Amino acid sequence: MKYCVQKNIKPGTILNGMTVCPHVGANYPRGNKYKGKYICQKSAASLTHVFRCYQVPSLLYDPSEKGFDPTKWRFFIPHTECARLFLQPLNGKNGHLFSNLLHVHHSNDNDENNFLYKTTSKLIRERNPVRTTDGWNGVGIMVGIGEHVDWHGQHTDFVLKPKFRSRWSNEEEKLTLYECGLIFEAQFKDKCVGYHEMIQNQKYIFWPNKKCPSHVSDTPRCWNASKNLGNELHNDHDADRSYAVWTKKYKQLPAKSWYLLFPEWEVAIEIDDGTYVSWNGRTCGHCTAVPDVVDGNKYLSLFCSIPQKLHDHRHKFINN
């Protein structure tokens, strides 16, 4: 799925069914809140990256502060609309039509959305947060779920908080994640976003001898989840595309100031219950704007990919 890309394409041009979004370059819109206080664009642009994922710690996009209105960005996708965007690489480097495809669609299946919300809420409640050090200083919570490589270089599962470890088995959790995976498969399988290819890649690195039952190998093994998240612009250290869904507690209440952003292309996606997005987090910098959480609502996300660290660890095992 690699295509040649013409240079100097006008913004908004439709190419292979995708809207072309040129890279803004060094003048992309910066966050407007730094260490909890408003910061102007000039001052924000002078801050330097100090973390391996390229973000400026504590520099967030907050719609409640002046200087940031995502509805006025060049490409604003309301929560009622679907989209297929091509985030054009800067100077034609580090990407192509498939890797830089950004896909957005929505599901109104209330039963699925309720199941995903309840499951994600439970998964978050039972785990300690990740991304709380080394420069991460956003708002909300993110947790890791399923398999990963820990700080000791061991391939293992993210552990539960001690008080939850005896309440359900590891296999029960995997069955629940399997159900989530079936929903993701149904949502993404016909969207031409590489979901099947990601699963095949996972099968190869986890089970090179192909001797594994389908109920274990046909759905994602590596997940993350978040609650009321607002984080810094960053790139992910993943070996494949990302696939995500957002849900909320009170469906009838409109989501206020809930956006997934790709600032270097000036793309803002308004999120609501049942929003599905696929993108390449490795080549396309992104972040979530600080949400306006009111009336006791909770904004959750559940997403999957293949972490590069785990990918490399498994390849060493295969090669040995």
- Running DSSP on this structure, what letter comes out for residue 163? G
Q: Is residue 59 part of a domain?
A: yes
The CATH number given to whatever domain includes residue 246 is: 3.60.130
77, containing H or E segment? strand 75-77
Cβ distance 281 to 235 under 8 Å? Answer: yes
Given this model, what pLDDT does residue 3 score?
Answer: 38
Q: pLDDT-derived band of residue 15, with 50, 70 and 90 as boundaries?
A: low
Q: pLDDT-derived band of residue 6, with 50, 70 and 90 as boundaries?
A: very low
Whose CA is closest to 17, among 1, 40, 38, 39?
A: 1
Contacts 24+ apart (CB under 8 A), 137-140: 137/35, 137/57, 137/58, 137/232, 138/60, 138/229, 138/230, 138/231, 138/232, 138/290, 139/60, 139/228, 139/229, 139/230, 139/231, 139/290, 140/226, 140/227, 140/228, 140/229, 140/230, 140/231, 140/291
Q: Which class for 153: exposed (0-12), middle (13-18), buried (19 or more C-beta within 10 A)?
A: exposed
DSSP H stretches of helix in the chain: 41-45, 110-125, 170-188, 195-206, 214-217, 308-319
Cβ distance 299 to 258 under 8 Å? Answer: yes
Q: Is residue 303 part of a domain?
A: yes
d(CA 110, CA 27): 41
d(CA 292, CA 229): 10
Whether 41 has a pLDDT exceeding 80, the answer reads yes
Average pLDDT of the chain, as a whole number? 84
- As for how many domains the chain has, the answer is 1
Q: Is residue 135 part of a domain?
A: yes
Q: Which class for 49: exposed (0-12), middle (13-18), buried (19 or more C-beta within 10 A)?
A: middle
Q: Is residue 7 part of a domain?
A: no
Q: Is residue 100 part of a domain?
A: no
Tokens of 272: 């609501």
Given this model, what pLDDT does residue 158 score?
Answer: 78
Whether 224 has a pLDDT exceeding 50, the answer reads yes
Query: For a pLDDT cut of 90, what percent of the chain falls above it?
Result: 53
Q: Annotate 204-269 with DSSP letters as a single string.
A: HHH-TT--S-HHHHSS-SEEEEEEEEE---B---BSS-EEEEEEES-TTSPPBS-EEEEGGGTEEE
Domain containing residue 156 = 26-79+109-319
Q: pLDDT-derived band of residue 71, with 50, 70 and 90 as boundaries?
A: very high
Q: 52: helix, coil or strand? A: coil
Q: Is residue 299 part of a domain?
A: yes
Given this model, what pLDDT does residue 1 score?
Answer: 36
- 66-76 burial: b if 16+ Cβ within 10 Å, else e: ebbebeebebb
Given this model, what pLDDT does residue 4 score?
Answer: 40
Q: Is residue 32 part of a domain?
A: yes
For residues 271-296, give the mean pLDDT: 92
Q: Which of 10-19, 169-178, 194-203, 209-218 has the highest mean pLDDT?
A: 194-203
Q: Is residue 17 part of a domain?
A: no
Tokens of 279: 């993108």
Given this model, what pLDDT does residue 320 score?
Answer: 57
Cβ distance 283 to 94 under 8 Å? Answer: yes
Provide the whole-model pTM: 0.89
Given this model, what pLDDT does residue 211 score?
Answer: 63
d(CA 137, CA 134): 9
Tokens of 225: 């989840």
Distance between the two ends of the chain, CA-based, in angstroms? 31
Whose CA is closest to 243, among 201, 296, 214?
A: 201
